[in-house]
Chain A
Amino acid sequence: MKNYLIVLFLSFSVFSFGQDVEFKAANFKDDKEGFKKAKEQMELGTEQWHLGNAEVFVVKSPELFYMKALEHFEKAYAFNPNSAELNFKIGVCHIHSTHKVKALPYFKEAYKRNALVDPFINYYMGLVHQLEGDFNKALTFYTTFETEYRKADDFGKFVKQRKSECKSGLKLVGTPIRAWVDHVPELSSEFDDYAPSVSMDGEEIILTSNRPNGHTPNEVGVYDDDIYSASLIDGVWQKPAKLKGKINTEGNDVSNNLSYNGTKMLMSKENAQGNSDIYESELRGDTWSDPISFSRDINFKSNERFASYNFNDRAIYFAKDKPGGKNGYDIMVSGVKVKRDRSYGLPTQILDVSSQFNDGPIYMHPNGKIMYFASEGFNSMGGYDIFYAKKIKGGGWTKPVNMGAPINTPYDDYFFAATANGKFAYIASNRAGGKGGFDIYKATFWGDEKSPSFATEDYLLASVAKPIQDPELVGEVKVTSMAELTVFKGKTLDAITKKAVKAIIEITDNNKGEIVESFTTNSATGKFLISLKSGGNYGIAVKADGYLFHSENFDIPQGSAYNLVNKKIELKNIKIGSKIALRNVFFDTGKSNIRSESNTELDRLVQLLKDVPSLKIELSGHTDNTGSAQNNIKLSQDRAAAAVAYLKSKGIAANRLTAKGHGSDKPIDTNATASGRQNNRRTEFEITGN
């Protein structure tokens, strides 16, 4: 029981606290055979691993060696995953592959188990933190490594570069550019998908992938690169398909750049000597022609790749790996000599954009003034970053500018293919979060910061952009109620002879007590024709020489039916015994005082008495037969006396006047009707002397 507890404790120590389980026989006494095989794999892997390391020092591609090493290491790892050394070595293999992200857990495991596992562990732990964006921690590891590393080789330049990258990373990540970078899953696979080149309209893309293609994979199971295309339909990229034609071979065929009109393509592939050369293929219909190599001036003994057309087709830019060089690929330009022969002049290195590390791929902006290129040097924040440089008038290029985060990461970010408007670009990156290896990413640039549109609003015009009103109306008017007129025609005749008599007529508006008309009738016909306001009560007084004064009271009714009133006036000669009723003499009911509207009529009588001084009259009052006879006699007597008194007051001698009240004794009409009674109620005078 005690032993069991000790074993349990040991096991717990080994596996829980991350002890380094070295590839020593003593550690695997129970499985000596297994250990032997694993140890052998460890050694075989280490052999390749060292070859890979050597390539790293000279900035060459160590990948194949590491892949081979990895095959062995993985077998050893299956036997013993707890070796710090093995974890470290596997980490190194991955970190130099296109699947860098795979390295991170191995390095962390190695460091955890044994922080002194390898002189380079601090360097690679720096790299782990750099890739994770923890630049400060990375710098600490690099500094530690730098302090401890004493070998007088060229590796110092890598550390220096890494530290520089971290410093760049701190700046660049702290000030990201205005862009989004999105993974494009439709164009990506768990293999390497890279070298995108997009048509100017952004709807066709060419890319390279080492996804399984039906060819025979290499010794480490990796397929060769082929070139694919895909179309953007309704905003979605369709599945990439191999280019038609013989452009894809069993070797690596790598797309570089499409021409701006999309009819030609620069690509790189290995020649018979195993070097990478630049080729060109043309699109004929939907098929790409067999690639044709460029002249020896471009494709020399070295490796050439990642070529780009120039905007005017007068040169090509490409990356060249000079034999014996230690700075990896550099960017070159070569001018055209004879275009149809693809004959170009000797390439010249563009020093402004060449670093001590690998430079290229290159993408020349269609305006010919901007070069986008990838580089592991300059102020990269790690691995390849994408830069741009502007052409300087008079020659040369500006200092490369890192495109910044999020376009670049501490991983490898390269290739740059923009749409014509510069809004979008496609890049390749092996950053964390993809499907595996290099994947295709789409950058969307926001452009300059957009300003919101703000609107102020004013009443610029006091009248708020409308004319002022002048709503002063013309005011109310006094309604001129013009009374209706009635035509009043008539004739003055001798009462006895019926002959026309020329007479003077006065018409009085009894409502107002005003004479409204005064005229003389026609001497020949006795006719008259006037208009009077309708709806009034009028008095008419007619005088004619030798005739008794004539007076009447009448109404002109309202209404158009009465637009004509005809009147025949018969005049009486002034003879003794003639009796004339004064129809326009009025008294208050039951009283004998003369009302003022009677004055006009009485004044005419005054005038008649003055006109005819010999005239003597008896003024008589008459009533109808209503009431007592005694009262009627008295009232009529009083009224007659009142009329005499009026005449006297106007200067008529008393001896010419007598007053007589007759009551109802002398009716001139029936008392049976109202109108008859009205006629009977009258003041009358009789000529008693002349």
Chain B
Amino acid sequence: MKKFTFTLLLAVIGCSGFSQIEELTPEEKFYRDSITHLNESNAAIEASQLAYNEGVELFKQNNFKAAVGKFTSSISNDPKFTPAYYNKAVAQNSMEDYKGAIKTLDELLTIKANYAKAFFQRARAYQGIGDYLNAETDYEKVIELKPKYDKAYYNYGTLKFMQKDYFAAVTQFSKVIMLKPDDAYAYNDRGSCYRMLEKYGEAVKDYEEAARKNPNLAFVLNNIGTTKTKLKMYVEALAAFNRALSVDTEFFLAYNNRGVTHMRMERIDDAVNDFTKALEINPSYAPAYSNRSGAYFKKGDYEKAKQDADKALQLNPELADAYVNRGNAKEMLRDLDGACEDWSKARQLGSELAKQYHSGNCSN
């Protein structure tokens, strides 16, 4: 109230030279109102832009949540400011708020219907919530609007891969390779498609091409190792794992996988060492415990086999392999009921081996 009185007084003083007392005509009033509106509108745009820029800065600091807040503020100040929608959606995707991103992008695409990158982001978001059908539709739209957008083909390929449509995935990754011939990732992923199609020769060829494009990708070398293990080319597989580990000495997956190759070669002690090394690097890596359990089982050390499977299951209670291995160990420790329980659980989790063991040992 005090402030208002002061303001009013200023107005009166201010108007002593420039009188404001005279009544305005309707046209003048309209003009004044339009100017007032213009002033408000300009202030809002400025506030929107300021919030937007702050959001961009926060995003760069990976503070996605705060960035989303700023972009939201920007949008509320200027609902037509499309970059704020886009950036908000990107931030939401980055923080895996896929539903939020979809909502934001729906609004954006209402304002800017053919915004290819918005479709791309929405496809990502749909992919994030497992709505592959809508994700596909959006990726197709991106490709239609922006036919040379390699990332769209790449993600579309990924989507197809995840739906186990490996032939379609090969097509998409091939397009990425056509657009970006040096894309090691695309070669790797196409190799993985071939691998899933059990075309191991072609898979290795693509993986090796990926490794040529970028020799420092440990995971590509690891993929070569596991694929060659499937081809029973154990010596070459070991060489690939060794290369992977020379690139990344902390790559625990490569230790784990090399351990499995050692098992195939019946080098049980070497396998145990590799599984142990994987666990030294990542003590929470349940599969290495499960695998070491299997190795101990093969050595006839059933107590240790059980202990390792127990640890694996503490870390991941849904790890079917660990149930199989613990079941095997329990059987040899004369706990057939316990073994049957474990095989049953592994069977529920989809293990074919457990199905075989359970039906062969646990029914009457």
Contact = CB atoms under 8 A, between A and B. Distances in A.
Interface of A: 180, 200-203, 235, 419-421, 423, 444, 446-447, 450-463, 465-487, 489, 529, 531, 554, 557, 560-568
Contact of A480 (B49, B186, B195, B321): B49
Contact of B334 (A180, A452, A487): A180
Contacts of B298: 452
A455 B291 contact: yes
14 contacts: A451-B353, A453-B294, A453-B346, A454-B263, A454-B321, A456-B226, A461-B189, A466-B158, A467-B155, A468-B151, A469-B93, A470-B121, A475-B56, A561-B7
A482 B53 contact: no
B43 interface: yes
Nearest to A178: B332
A566 B15 contact: yes
A485 B260 contact: no
A485 B38 CA distance: 8
Contacts of B337: 235
B20 A453 contact: no
Given A447-B360, A468-B154, A563-B36, A456 B31 contact: no
Contact of B293 (A452, A471, A566): A452
A562 B14 contact: yes
A452 B39 CA distance: 75
A485 B17 contact: no
B223 A566 contact: no
A299 to B, nearest CB: 34
A455 B188 CA distance: 21
Nearest to A486: B35
B256 A460 contact: no
A168 to B, nearest CB: 26
A232 to B, nearest CB: 11
Nearest to B220: A462
Contacts of A563: 32, 35-36, 39
Interface of B: 7-8, 10-11, 14-15, 17-22, 24, 28, 31-32, 35-36, 38-39, 42-43, 45-46, 49-50, 52-53, 56-57, 59, 83, 86-87, 90, 93-94, 117, 120-121, 123-124, 127-128, 151, 154-155, 158-159, 161-162, 184-186, 188-189, 192, 195-196, 217, 219-220, 222-223, 226, 229, 253, 256-257, 260, 263, 287, 290-291, 293-295, 297-298, 305, 320-321, 324-325, 328, 331-332, 334, 336-337, 346, 351, 353-354, 357, 360-364
A385 to B, nearest CB: 25
Contacts of A531: 35
Contacts of A465: 158, 161-162
Contacts of B184: 462
Contacts of A200: 364
A670 to B, nearest CB: 16
Contact of A460 (B50, B192, B293, B354): B192
B361 A453 contact: no
The 5 closest A-B pairs by CB, nearest first: A452-B294, A482-B42, A462-B185, A474-B83, A460-B192
Contacts of B22: 566
B328 A452 contact: yes
Nearest to B353: A453
Contacts of A180: 334
B360 A423 contact: yes
B364 A480 contact: no
B93 A461 contact: no
A486 B18 CA distance: 13
Contact of B161 (A421, A461, A470, A562): A461
A560 B39 contact: yes
Contact of A421 (B11, B123, B127, B364): B364
Nearest to A457: B253
Given A454-B291, A469-B94, A479-B53, 19 more contacts: A180-B334, A235-B337, A421-B362, A444-B336, A446-B331, A452-B263, A452-B305, A452-B328, A455-B287, A455-B291, A458-B253, A461-B161, A461-B188, A462-B186, A467-B124, A471-B93, A473-B56, A473-B90, A564-B20
Given A200-B364, A447-B360, A450-B328, A487 B31 contact: yes
Contact of A566 (B19, B257, B357): B19
* Overall SS of chain B's interface: helix
B199 to A, nearest CB: 14
B248 to A, nearest CB: 11
A562 B305 CA distance: 85
A567 B353 CA distance: 95
For A203, A454, A478, A566, the residue with the greatest tally of chain B CB atoms inside 10 Å of its CB is A454
Nearest to A483: B42
A457 B192 CA distance: 13
Given A452-B293, A489-B28, A479 B50 contact: yes
B331 A450 contact: yes
B324 A453 contact: yes
B35 A487 contact: yes
A470 B94 CA distance: 10
A484 B31 contact: no
A568 B32 CA distance: 18
Nearest to A199: B364
Nearest to B159: A467
Contact of B321 (A446, A453, A474, A554): A453
B49 A479 contact: yes
Contacts of B294: 452-454
Nearest to A477: B49
A458 B93 contact: no
Contact of A459 (B94, B223, B293): B223
A180 B335 CA distance: 12
B56 A480 contact: no
A455 B321 contact: yes
A484 B43 contact: yes
Given A444-B336, A469-B93, A568-B19, A463 B185 contact: yes
Contact of B18 (A451, A456, A476, A554): A554
Contacts of A565: 15, 18, 20
A485 B35 contact: yes
Contacts of B256: 456-457
A479 B46 contact: yes
A471 B94 contact: yes
B31 A529 contact: yes
Nearest to A531: B35
A254 B11 CA distance: 124
Considering residues A450, A487, A568, which has the most beta carbons from chain B within 10 angstroms of its beta carbon? A450
Contact of A456 (B45, B127, B260): B260
Nearest to B346: A453
B210 to A, nearest CB: 8
A470 B257 contact: no
A675 to B, nearest CB: 10
Given A450-B357, A465-B162, A469-B94, A562 B11 contact: yes
B14 A487 contact: no
A117 B354 CA distance: 61
B361 A469 contact: no
Contacts of B31: 487, 529
Contacts of B185: 462-463, 468
